[in-house]
């Protein structure tokens, strides 16, 4: 009789876990996000519950913008900072996961990490920030389902619109307006780099502050953009000087051609010169705040404490 109860006690959690994992393969409907924009994510709801429990009167500030109205600099900076293999992997960066697991085993902690943009979005849309093996399994299933049902561009578009960028600030449009007083389409390369630099912990760091960590990380991201030809520094300097450019009603930059002296407006979403998007340069990871990087330090040697969220 005693053995029977032991088996029952063991079977109940096993059946429960199997049910949860099995349900993750069919629910929620990921394919609906091919055309429908998520109104509120699980992570946003988690933040709201957190604020209520702390007695804080904070509201979510978010404004959705399509990918075509986001500066290409933002897309490049975020991918360099968070997931440099985004266009090539199928949802998982196995090398990064292996390194993260080895680090966890060494420190005897369960953090894993090494998350791709797809994994971060899966956590943001469907899960809470809790860390346990079952959650990681569900995250993997949701990531796989998103990669099967959504295009890479759509995954990136949703991610940029729901990512947390500060206390109550969600999405790149509100982040751009809050920190720099402009639309996401008008962000410069350095502004994009600074916004990307704080993603691991946007409530601890500010893109406009003077944090040594943010300064170092954003300069690394910007440097990679320059080396890849995404940013032409001389061109950026001209754009920063209003005497060198004309204002265009559409919000673009007026460029004068040397051959016929005609002017054309360059949209904020115009492809950046030399941006092939295929060069493989080490992704930028964080250095602990206060640690002075040596000239030989490469991105990815150390990582800042990541926000409990995505």
Contact criterion met (CB below 8 Å) for 263 and 256: yes
pTM of the model: 0.71
Residue 255's SS3 state is: strand
Residues 53-77 have pLDDT tens digits of 999 999 999 999 999 999 999 999 9
Q: What is the CATH number of domain 22-231?
A: 1.10.3810.10
Q: At what angle do helices 152-162 and 117-126 cross, to 10 degrees?
A: 60
- CA of 132: how far to CAs of 43, 46, 109, 118, in Å? 16, 17, 11, 19
Distance (Å, whole) CA 103 – CA 24? 28
Binning pLDDT at 50, 70 and 90, where does residue 237 land? Answer: low
Quick one: pLDDT at residue 262?
Answer: 33
User: Is residue 264 over pLDDT 50?
Assistant: no
The residue ranges of every structural domain in the chain are 22-231
Quick one: pLDDT at residue 202?
Answer: 96
Q: Which residue has the higher pLDDT, 298 or 259?
A: 259
Share of the chain above pLDDT 90, in %: 52
Give the β-pairing of 246-247 and 263-266.
Answer: unpaired
Secondary structure (DSSP) of 26-91: TSS-GGGGGTPPPSS-HHHHHHHHHHHHTT-----B-----GGGS-HHHHHHHHHHH-TTTTTSSS
């Amino acid at each position: 009789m005693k053995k029977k109860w032991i088996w029952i006690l063991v079977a109940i959690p096993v059946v429960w876990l199997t049910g949860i994992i099995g349900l993750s393969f069919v629910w929620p409907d990921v394919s609906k996000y091919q055309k429908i924009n998520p109104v509120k994510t699980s992570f946003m709801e988690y933040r709201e519950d957190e604020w209520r429990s702390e007695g804080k009167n904070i509201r979510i500030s978010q404004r959705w913008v399509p990918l075509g109205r986001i500066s290409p600099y933002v897309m490049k900076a975020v991918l360099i900072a968070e997931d440099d293999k985004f266009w090539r992997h199928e949802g998982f960066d196995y090398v990064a996961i292996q390194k993260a697991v080895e680090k966890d085993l060494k420190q005897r902690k369960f953090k894993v990490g090494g998350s791709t943009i797809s994994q971060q979005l899966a956590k943001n849309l469907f899960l809470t920030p809790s860390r346990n093996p079952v959650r990681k399994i569900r995250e993997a299933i949701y990531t796989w389902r998103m990669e099967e049902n959504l295009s890479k561009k759509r995954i990136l578009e949703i991610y940029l619109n729901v990512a947390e960028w500060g206390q109550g600030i969600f999405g790149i449009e509100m982040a751009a307006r809050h920190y720099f007083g402009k639309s996401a389409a008008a962000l410069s390369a350095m502004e994009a780099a600074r916004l990307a630099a704080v993603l691991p912990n946007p409530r601890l760091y500010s893109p406009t502050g003077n944090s040594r960590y943010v300064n170092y990380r954003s300069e690394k991201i910007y440097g990679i953009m320059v080396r890849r030809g995404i940013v032409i520094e001389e061109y950026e300097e001209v754009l920063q000087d209003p005497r060198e450019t004309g204002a265009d009603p559409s919000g673009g930059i007026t460029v004068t051609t040397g051959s016929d002296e005609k002017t054309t407006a360059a949209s904020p979403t115009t492809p950046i010169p030399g941006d092939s998007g295929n060069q493989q340069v080490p992704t930028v990871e964080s250095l602990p705040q206060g640690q002075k990087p040596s000239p030989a330090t490469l991105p990815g040697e150390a990582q800042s404490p990541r926000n409990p969220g995505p």
